[in-house]
C-alpha cells in the first residue's frame, strides 16, 4: 500500500516568490494534516482537514499561507509571498479518522534565499 506522497521533495526559491506543495494521502484516509518542521525541532501543526473541511487552521499564518483539499483527497499548501523564515520542512500526514494514528509523508524541504 502506498504511503503519503508529497512533491516536490526539495524546493529552492527567492524570497517574495510564491511556492506550492502537493500531498496525496493514503487511500481512504479522511483526515489530512500539514505540519511545519524547523531544523532540530518537532513538527508543528499548520492545518487539519476532515474530508474537504479545514477544521483546525488556528496555527496557519493566513496572511501568506493558504491550503485547500478539493474533493477531500489531495491537498495543496501555498505560500505567497515566501519569506526567509519560511525555510523548513513541510510534512503532510493522513489518518483514517481523527484521533487515529497519523502516517507522515517524506516532506518537502523548502529553502528561501
Q: How far is the CB of 21 from other proteins (least distance, A)?
A: 14
Kindly report the number of other CB atoms within 10 A of residue 76's CB atom: 14
Q: How far is the CB of 106 from other proteins (least distance, A)?
A: 5
Q: What is the CA radius of gyration of the chain?
A: 13
Tell me which of 56, 64, 66, 87 binds other proteins, using CB under 8 A: 56
Q: Is residue 42 close enough to count as binding other proteins by CB under 8 A?
A: yes
Beta strands in the chain (DSSP E): 5-7, 10-13, 19-24, 31-37, 44-50, 53-56, 65-68, 75-79, 88-95, 103-104, 108-112
CB 59 within 8 A of CB 45: yes
Tell me which of 17, 51, 80, 100 binds other proteins, using CB under 8 A: 100
Q: How far is the CB of 80 from other proteins (least distance, A)?
A: 25
Closer by beta carbon to other proteins, 52 or else 56: 56
Contact positions vs other proteins (CB under 8 A): 31, 33, 40-45, 48, 50, 55-56, 91, 95, 98-107
Amino acid at each position: 500500500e502506498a504511503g503519503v506522497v508529497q512533491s516536490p521533495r526539495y524546493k529552492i526559491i527567492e524570497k517574495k516568490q510564491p511556492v506550492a506543495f502537493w500531498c496525496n494521502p493514503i487511500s481512504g484516509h479522511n483526515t489530512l494534516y500539514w505540519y511545519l518542521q524547523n531544523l532540530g525541532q518537532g513538527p508543528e501543526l499548520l492545518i487539519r482537514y476532515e474530508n474537504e473541511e479545514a477544521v483546525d487552521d488556528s496555527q496557519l499564518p493566513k496572511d501568506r499561507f493558504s491550503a485547500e483539499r478539493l474533493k477531500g483527497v489531495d491537498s495543496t499548501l501555498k505560500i505567497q509571498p515566501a519569506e526567509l523564515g519560511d525555510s523548513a520542512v513541510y510534512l503532510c500526514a493522513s489518518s483514517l479518522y481523527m484521533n487515529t494514528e497519523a502516517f507522515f509523508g517524506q516532506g518537502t524541504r523548502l529553502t528561501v534565499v
